[in-house]
Structure 1
Amino acid sequence: MDTIRAMQVFVRAVELGSLSAVAREQQSTQPTISKIVAALERDLGVRLLARSTTSLLPTEAGRRFYERARRVLDEYGEAVSDARGVSDQPSGRVRVSAPASLGVLRLNALVLAFQQRYPEVEVELLFDDRFVDLVEAGVDVAVRLGATLPPHVVARRIAVSQRLLVASPDYLARHPRIRQPSDLARHQILRFTWLASGDDIVLDGPGGQVLVSAPCRYRVNNSLAMRESFLAGAGFGMTPAWLVQDLLDSGALRRVLPRWQGPAQEAFLVCPTRRYQPAPVRVLLEFLASEIAALPGFTAV
């Protein structure tokens, strides 16, 4: 049995979810592809794929083997490129997980720019505000903002974003002037549902730290929705600078109490714990570390 060929077929079967799709991609036939996978299962002594009339999914053993097989194939591809003298051109696939709002607003453009620089690298960008199990999800790189990081991952802190109080000019014109933190109690605050501080606002500024409470009639769990709510004049709120820096620069939003700010939000690049990283993963990590830190509202660390 050609083990490398069998692993390639299995990996693509998992990724495409269909043996017929693999056959079409590789200009083969479904029975041929099925025989290759069956031979691999016999050789390993485990069932890798669970088949039904409507779906094809990896078994638990199949999921574990898929993750390792992908890494083996990536390293094999680099070895072949090195032997042919083309190792300076990274190629292969990278799977990236990122928070939805940062992904849509900023990261999507960065990935497209990355692919202009490295045309042989295929990127699959997944938006998910949950911290997924990187190995189980087959994720090579995750971008995470201010979250408690799980154990058994490699995390690199790349940037911070200050949390600012902001509101639209229209909102500020229609409501009492805010001169000091205690004035916030007379205003409507827009809040992220997941903030650990509850209804309190923690501010650092002249004279130290203060804790302020303000009435809230609207909570939302999506940063882009919060951004639109600020623009609509629905209230003021605390937000990381990366989400609104362009709106502050254009005047569409204004800072409230500009001498005060909340705890900074940290940005991390996270990878599964493993010694070997394929060339496409390495170059993407370096690209994202540099480019995210340079985005409006972020500061490099």
Structure 2
Amino acid sequence: MDTLHAMRVFVRTLELGSLSAAAREFGTTQPTVSKWLAQLERQLRVRLFERSTRGLSPTEQGQRFHADARRVIEQFDAAVGAVQGMTGQAAGLLRINAPVALGQFRINAMVQQFMANHPAIDVELILNDRFVDLVEEAVDVAFRLGGTLPPDAIGRHLATVPRFLVAAPTYLARRGVPVVPDALSAHDFVRFAWTPGNTVDLFRGDEQARLSVSSRFRVNNALAIRDALVLGSGIGVCPDWLVRDLLDSGELVRVLDGWSARAQDLYLLYPSRQFQPLRTRLFIGFAVAQFGGLAGFERGQG
């Protein structure tokens, strides 16, 4: 029996909470996962899970073994990474998580270049807008835009993202161009569905304006907001990177130039500073270098 592999299966089964989820992650069947776990229990001579019709629950010994097994796996991966680093080689699967729009507009192309530089590294890019648990979902690195980070978050600040008001020239020709912030109240405002309240904060130097806006259209996807604005649905606050090409082409223009919304921070998070495989360390360094000169982003704090 491959004990290290069985330990990996055990750790992920406990973290995912089911045999079927672990089977999907390892690309195998539920009976095979069950067999690996049974072989590991026989080797250890302890029961790691209690099995019932309701599913699996770890025993006291299983909970204790999980922490030790995870540490052994991380140390093994670190040792492999160190050896690979001596030859400049890196291999294995790298799982990356990013918000949907950022992933499509920036991270996807970045990953393709990274893979071209490292032919032995496979990448699984998971795009969603929820805050994933890196440990439970076996994510190696995650890009996070704005929001409050968990107190135990580990990572680095990559960039600051300017945000400002934009609209289509066709909309402004139809509804007029606002020249002062208070004029926004007479316009249609396109916004994220999950944004609380009906106000927008704008800043110009030391000046600040909190304005009431009316939103006939709200949507929970940045790409849909981008499309709606191009179609002339109203005025919206967008990050620079999301609309930079449309501003350059003239399909969108800035509104109330000089006023900006609160900037967003972009972070790169990872489960641990210790025992990072070489592929993870390489990607972190690559991402930091890429965002240092990427249009729509201002260099991070380090």
Specify the TM-score bucket, using the shorter chain as the normaliser: 0.7 to 0.9
- Alignment partner, residue 80 of structure 2: 77
The aligned amino acid for 2:139 is: V
- Distance in 1, matches of 2:42 and 2:242, equals 52
- Alignment partner, residue 17 of structure 1: 23
CA contact (8 A) 1:143 1:268 kept: yes
Task: Give deviations 1:90-147, integer Å, cap 9, x for gaps.
Answer: 1122211111111122211111111011111121111221112211111111100002
SS of equivalent residue, structure 1 residue 260: coil
2:124 paired with 1:124: yes
- Alignment partner, residue 147 of structure 2: 147
SS of equivalent residue, structure 1 residue 158: strand
- Alignment partner, residue 214 of structure 2: 215
Task: Give deviations 1:56-93, integer Å, cap 9, x for gaps.
Answer: x98655995785565244234335546xx53x111122
CA contact (8 A) 2:84 2:278 kept: no
Provide structure 2 residue ranges, at least 5 long, that are not aligned to the other structure: 14-18
Alpha carbons of structure 1 residues 227 and 250: separation in structure 2 relative to 1, 3 Å:
same
CA contact (8 A) 1:166 1:254 kept: yes
Alpha carbons of structure 1 residues 170 and 67: separation in structure 2 relative to 1, 3 Å:
farther
- Distance in 1, matches of 2:267 and 2:245, equals 22
SS of equivalent residue, structure 1 residue 217: strand
The aligned amino acid for 1:217 is: R
TM-aligned CA deviation for residue 207 of structure 1: 6.3
- Distance in 1, matches of 2:193 and 2:5, equals 49
The aligned amino acid for 1:47 is: L
The aligned amino acid for 1:202 is: D
Provide structure 1 residue ranges, at least 5 long, that are not aligned to the other structure: 24-29
- Distance in 2, matches of 1:91 and 1:195, equals 41
Normalised by the length of structure 2, the TM-score is: 0.82
Q: Give the alignment of 1:177-256 within 5 angstroms.
A: 177-196=177-196, 198-205=197-204, 208-256=207-255
- Alignment partner, residue 260 of structure 2: 261
2:106 paired with 1:106: yes
Alpha carbons of structure 1 residues 290 and 81: separation in structure 2 relative to 1, 3 Å:
closer
SS of equivalent residue, structure 1 residue 257: coil
- Alignment partner, residue 27 of structure 1: none
- Distance in 1, matches of 2:97 and 2:219, equals 22
Alpha carbons of structure 1 residues 149 and 21: separation in structure 2 relative to 1, 3 Å:
closer
Task: Give deviations 1:227-273, integer Å, cap 9, x for gaps.
Answer: 11111100011111111111111111100011110110110011124
- Distance in 1, matches of 2:7 and 2:96, equals 22
- Distance in 1, matches of 2:178 and 2:25, equals 63
CA contact (8 A) 1:293 1:300 kept: yes
- Distance in 2, matches of 1:116 and 1:239, equals 31
- Distance in 2, matches of 1:299 and 1:227, equals 21
- Distance in 2, matches of 1:9 and 1:195, equals 40
- Distance in 1, matches of 2:83 and 2:37, equals 24
2:53 paired with 1:47: no
CA contact (8 A) 2:140 2:280 kept: yes
Tell me which moved more, 219-228 or 7-16: 7-16
- Distance in 1, matches of 2:75 and 2:242, equals 39
CA contact (8 A) 2:82 2:278 kept: no
- Distance in 2, matches of 1:49 and 1:291, equals 47
- Distance in 2, matches of 1:100 and 1:47, equals 38
Alpha carbons of structure 1 residues 218 and 50: separation in structure 2 relative to 1, 3 Å:
farther
- Distance in 1, matches of 2:79 and 2:42, equals 23
Task: Give deviations 1:152-194, integer Å, cap 9, x for gaps.
Answer: 2213111011111000111111112221112211111111123
- Alignment partner, residue 282 of structure 1: 281
- Name the % identity: 40
- Distance in 2, matches of 1:48 and 1:288, equals 40
- Distance in 2, matches of 1:173 and 1:182, equals 19
